[in-house]
A = this chain, B = another copy of it.
């Protein structure tokens, strides 16, 4: 038996195909009774609109392209990141009966721009979601914009006026983490700054300062040290902090890798975590749950961010103009084993 078409539905419901189309597309100006009848007919025939015909007739695809840096280019794939992006986008796609096209590409490859141009020409996606770090590369952003395809950048912490961006509240949530540590009785909370070029990581430091203020604590210069986002730098910073005459009882690192370095040093020096030292990180990388003790950290709301990005394409809210361009999705603190009450 052949698949039912819009005409079959129309005949059964006693309306025109166009009216069926209106119902399917949730367009206004259909009487409730009519809508009802059409919906019954759709259910009865278990009709599914043919996406190809829809796309062809409407000149719009229902395809969202998710573009991210190719993880296979690296030794250790940051795969949790990508899977969560995919997951969020997929969620929105399913609900809106859109489809998802994924396109990893190497940011440093010469032909990236050509590659994207071809992609756009071939599939004409309804919109593009560009994940960090690609979302911060002017060349790539410019080439997509030039094509006129709606673009949403997923960028933790950076913003360009007039562009649609979904970002997270790095600063606020870092402040919250700091206040949480303070609420556990910690008075000397150290902070390990990240790489100075990493914008989001910079915001976290500001959040730390906010948090100290909020908890009524003084900022102590010797408790702020600078790493470079690597595990190794976390170790060095931790050593420096623990050798202080009056060492901190809690260390908040601007990313999980550095926090893992702190844990390593603590283990080496037989400093018990969390009994003697609380450690908190940022990012909730998969390692955070695999190490012992499991790391208290800030989870970036990647799934939600990607979902919001997809919806802004689906809703056509990409060209919202200045002001409405930025959307913030709040991160959450994952309370785990590495933080606890301050020692007496």
Contacts of A102 in B (CB 8 A): 86, 90, 100, 102
Task: Tell me, in angstroms, the Cα distance from A18 to B122 when the chains sit together.
Answer: 20
Most buried by B among A97, A121, A286, A303: A286
Residue of B nearest to A291 (CB): B290
Asked if A99 is at the interface of the complex by the 8 Å CB criterion, the answer is yes
CB distance from A307 to the nearest CB of B (A): 13
Given A51-B123, A99-B101, check contact A72 B83 (CB 8 Å): yes
Task: Tell me, in angstroms, the Cα distance from A183 to B3 when the chains sit together.
Answer: 61
CB distance from A201 to the nearest CB of B (A): 22
CB distance from A128 to the nearest CB of B (A): 14
Asked if A5 is at the interface of the complex by the 8 Å CB criterion, the answer is no
Stretch at the interface among A52-60, A205-213, A239-247, A323-331: A52-60
Task: Tell me, in angstroms, the Cα distance from A328 to B70 when the chains sit together.
Answer: 27
CB < 8 Å: which of B53, B56, B80, B303 contacts A50? B56
Contacts of A219 in B (CB 8 A): none
Cβ contact within 8 Å between A83 and B87:
no
Contacts of A230 in B (CB 8 A): none
Chain A positions 75-100 with a Cβ under 8 Å from a chain B Cβ: 75-77, 79-80, 82-84, 86-87, 90, 97, 99-100
**Oligomeric state, in number of copies?**
2
CB distance from A149 to the nearest CB of B (A): 13
Task: Tell me, in angstroms, the Cα distance from A72 to B72 when the chains sit together.
Answer: 20
Residue of B nearest to A86 (CB): B102
CB distance from A119 to the nearest CB of B (A): 9
Chain A positions 268-315 with a Cβ under 8 Å from a chain B Cβ: 286-287, 289-290, 303
Chain A positions 53-73 with a Cβ under 8 Å from a chain B Cβ: 53, 55-56, 61, 63, 71-72
Cβ contact within 8 Å between A56 and B48:
no
Asked if A104 is at the interface of the complex by the 8 Å CB criterion, the answer is yes
Task: Tell me, in angstroms, the Cα distance from A76 to B83 when the chains sit together.
Answer: 12
**What are 5 sample pairs from A and B whose C-beta atoms fall under 8 A apart?**
A51-B123, A77-B83, A79-B80, A86-B104, A100-B101
